[in-house]
Amino acid sequence: MSVSRRGVRARSAYTYGPLGLVPTGVLLVGAVYCLFPVSWVVIAATKTSGELFSTSTFTPGTGFFQNLADLAAYREGVFWLWMLNTLLYAGGGALLSTAVSAVSGYTLAKYRFAGRNLIFNILIGGILVPAVVLAIPQYLLFAKVGLADTYWSVLLPQILHPYSIYLARVYAGAAIPDSLLEAGRIDGASHWTLLTRVALPLMGPGMVTIFLFQFVAIWNNFLLPFIMLGDDGKFPLTVGLYTMLAAGANHPSLYNLILIGTFLALIPLIALFLTMQRFWRTDLSSGAVKA
Amino acid sequence: MTTRKSWAPYLFLTPAVTLFALFLALPIGYTVYLSLRRTKVSGLGLGKGSKREIFVGLDNYAAAIGDGDLWTGWLRVLGYGVLVLVVMLGLALVFALMLDAARVRLARFSRIAIFLPFAVPGVAASLMWGFLYLPSVSPISELFGVAPLSQSAVVYSMANVAVWGGTGFNMLVLYTNLGAVPQDLYQAARIDGASELQIALRVKIPILAPAIILVTVFSIIATIQVFTEPTALRPLTNTISSTWSPLMKIYRDAFVTGDLYSAAATAAVIAGISLVLSFGFLRVVKNRAFGET
């Protein structure tokens, strides 16, 4: 399907002018707009405090290593702790989230049982609930059981992700042949064996996609950790950078630290993003793995 | 499809249902409960037992709806939201159609570049743009002849951060959906003499309608809750108040003023409005988009 599609695209040449100048031009303008702040922050991270305000916007500076050293020294290296915390929240949360979504999606796609549609609709209804309605009462409830301001308070609420369950269900429906499950069942495989030996391996690529989206969502989340956490040793990068800005707004000498911090915060995600290109898909309905 | 009776599906769904109960249903119920209550201080308010929580019915809702700050917040977010939705989704649609155009160069580079901001946290995006908005750092303010963080321009500057961050994801959703369209449809249109522009407008956009509706609903829900961008830009300017958006007001009520009950009522109002808007939008466009077929 995807191969023939490419073929058709190449053949239909007679449009938008001979070279496709209009779409190419429009897309390049969009690309430049999207790359502009990111490329600036890369350059700004190299500027000393004086250079930030005196040299022209895109002129590289001479202070990269000094900035790095200053950031490492900032409040006894709390920045590296934020980085590790973020990895823990995003990695752990996305892993658990993917597992729950995959098992739920497989069950909803491949079992028929009383209450199936009801459970699916209720779970999916969660998509429409605004995060704000949840974050504050979640904080209050965590406070009641003494778990506010802990790693758990940020990790646990982000495991359930209704849209991932929906994607997993669609993907399981397309990627797991009923005949395979039936064959396994005839051979006497238990439900657990069918899940772990047949279903989950077939759902691999879909699970990678779900993991990536969830990883980015947790990595980028600001509201929940901002509300849950008070101790800056547990902050993720987003909240940490914000507190740096809030503290440093009146001290332009801190701007360099914030900028190099922002730059460093972007590297892991952008790396993940560029290396995992083929898994960044938003449509899992085509299922059975062309990637 | 398994049809025989078994406990297995229920067991497999236990984690999801448990998480749903604990972290979705319970907090929602608790919000509603809190929104109906208030602390009553008896006597001089000193000593143990002088403060107790009482049931006040819809009083908190009446207060939330009558709150002027909140309404100014809503109006601001409405203007901001319309701007973000139209520009962001418009750009996403244009980019998706351009990526799908028959002859386009460097499409892969452009697609990756435009999707890149998706990997940038909202706080980081606000910080980067926030610094670029400072006249001492970049020439943007000279370019537009107005300081981006001044009273008159701050809404546009904030919308720019949201558009920058959100266009790529929506573009990808729409572009992926275009990939599922059978190519014979385009061939047929071409044989009939349709230009690529006509194909985009008359064939591709109608086919994309359900996907456009989906991204619009998600964008509405996200935009109503705008919090990160104004919060992160606040330290750089005094033109953003602590109640700039309704969500910021809830945060202030709950954690700065310590009035949980008002915060809960306001949160429930926001949830209500966002549900009404999402479903209202779905109803309107469903009749339009699918009414004929």
CATH architecture of the domain B70-290 equals: Orthogonal Bundle (1.10)
- Mean pLDDT in chain A? 85
**pLDDT reading at A289 higher than 50:** no
Q: What is d(CA A172, CA A204) in angstroms, rounded to the nearest whole number? A: 10
Please report the pLDDT score of residue B199 as a whole number: 84
Residues A67 and A86 in one domain: no
Rg of chain B taking only CA atoms, in angstroms = 24
Query: Which residue's entry shows tokens 């989704």?
Result: B89
Q: Check A40 against B118: CB less than 8 A apart.
A: no
**pLDDT reading at A7 higher than 60:** no
- Which residues of chain A neighbour B10 with C-beta distances below 8 Å? 113
CATH number of the domain enclosing A104: 1.10.3720.10
Please tell me the total number of residues recorded for chain B in this structure.
Answer: 293
User: Which tens digit of pLDDT belongs to each residue from B152-171?
Assistant: 889 999 999 999 999 999 99
Buried b (16+ CB within 10 A) or exposed e, A87-125: eebbebbbebbbbbbbbbbbbbbbbebeeeeebbeebee
**Number of CB pairs < 8 Å for A and B?**
303
Query: Could you report the predicted ipTM of this complex, rounded to two decimals?
Result: 0.86
Min distance A105 CA to chain B CA atoms (Å) = 9
Residues A58 and A135 in one domain: no
Inside any domain, residue A104: yes
- From A71, A90, A110, the end of a domain falls on A71
Inside any domain, residue A8: no
- Which residues are CB-neighbours of B245 under 8 A, at least 6 positions away? B73, B76, B77, B226, B227, B230
Residues A101 and A227 in one domain: yes
* A residues 96..135 contacting B (CB < 8 A): 100-101, 103-104, 106-108, 110-113, 116, 119, 122-123, 126, 128-134
Inside any domain, residue A151: yes
Domain residues for the domain of A51 are 15-71
* Contact with chain B for residue A271, Cβ under 8 A: no
Chain B residue closest in CA terms to A244: B235
* Contact with chain B for residue A65, Cβ under 8 A: no
- From A71, A88, A114, the end of a domain falls on A71
* Contact with chain B for residue A24, Cβ under 8 A: yes
Min distance A7 CA to chain B CA atoms (Å) = 10
Please report the pLDDT score of residue A226 as a whole number: 94
- The string of DSSP codes covering B68-106 is HHHHHHHHHHHHHHHHHHHHHHHHHHHHHHHHTSSS-SS
Nearest CB to A191 within list B8, B121, B131: B8
Q: Check A27 against B187: CB less than 8 A apart.
A: no
Residues A43 and A153 in one domain: no
Inside any domain, residue A4: no
**pLDDT reading at B293 higher than 50:** no
**Threshold 0.95, pTM exceeds:** no
**pLDDT reading at A108 higher than 60:** yes
Q: Check A104 against B16: CB less than 8 A apart.
A: yes
Residues A197 and A61 in one domain: no
**pLDDT reading at A33 higher than 60:** yes
Interface test with A, best of B12, B106, B203, B219 (most A CBs within 10 A): B12
Residues A255 and A132 in one domain: yes
Element (H, E) at B37: strand B37-41
Residues A250 and A113 in one domain: yes
List the end-to-end C-alpha distance of chain A, in Å, as a whole number: 12
Chain A residue closest in CA terms to B183: A5
Residues A152 and A166 in one domain: yes
Domain total in chain A:
2
Q: In this structure, what DSSP letter does residue A234 have? A: S
- Which residues of chain B neighbour A53 with C-beta distances below 8 Å? 136-137
**pLDDT reading at A284 higher than 80:** no
Residues A110 and A231 in one domain: yes
- Which residues of chain B neighbour A210 with C-beta distances below 8 Å? none
Chain B residue closest in CA terms to A220: B121
- Which range among A81-95, A167-181, B178-192 shows the weakest confidence by mean pLDDT? B178-192
Nearest CB to B116 within list A22, A223, A270: A270
Q: How many helices (H) and strands (E) does chain B have?
A: 14, 2
- Which residues are CB-neighbours of A217 under 8 A, at least 6 positions away? A158, A161
| A11 band by pLDDT with thresholds 50, 70 and 90 | very low
Please report the pLDDT score of residue B288 as a whole number: 63
**pLDDT reading at B215 higher than 70:** yes
What amino acid is encoded at B178 in this protein? L
Nearest CB to B123 within list A140, A157, A242: A242
High-pLDDT (> 90) share of chain A, %: 53
- Which residues of chain B neighbour A166 with C-beta distances below 8 Å? none
Domain map (residue ranges) of chain B = 70-290
- Which residues of chain A neighbour B232 with C-beta distances below 8 Å? 222, 242, 245
- Which residues of chain B neighbour A222 with C-beta distances below 8 Å? 121-123, 227-228, 231-232
Residues A273 and A175 in one domain: yes
Inside any domain, residue A158: yes
Q: Check B117 against A34: CB less than 8 A apart.
A: yes
Residues A56 and A77 in one domain: no
Q: What is d(CA B1, CA A132) in angstroms, rounded to the nearest whole number? A: 38
Q: What is d(CA B14, CA A104) in angstroms, rounded to the nearest whole number? A: 9
Inside any domain, residue A246: yes
Residues A208 and A82 in one domain: yes
Chain B residue closest in CA terms to A105: B13
User: Which tens digit of pLDDT belongs to each residue from B246-291?
Assistant: 889 888 888 888 888 888 898 888 888 878 887 777 777 766 655 4
Q: Check B20 against A40: CB less than 8 A apart.
A: no
| B143 band by pLDDT with thresholds 50, 70 and 90 | confident
User: Which tens digit of pLDDT belongs to each residue from B218-241?
Assistant: 888 888 888 999 999 998 888 999
Inside any domain, residue A290: no
Inside any domain, residue A241: yes
* Contact with chain B for residue A69, Cβ under 8 A: no
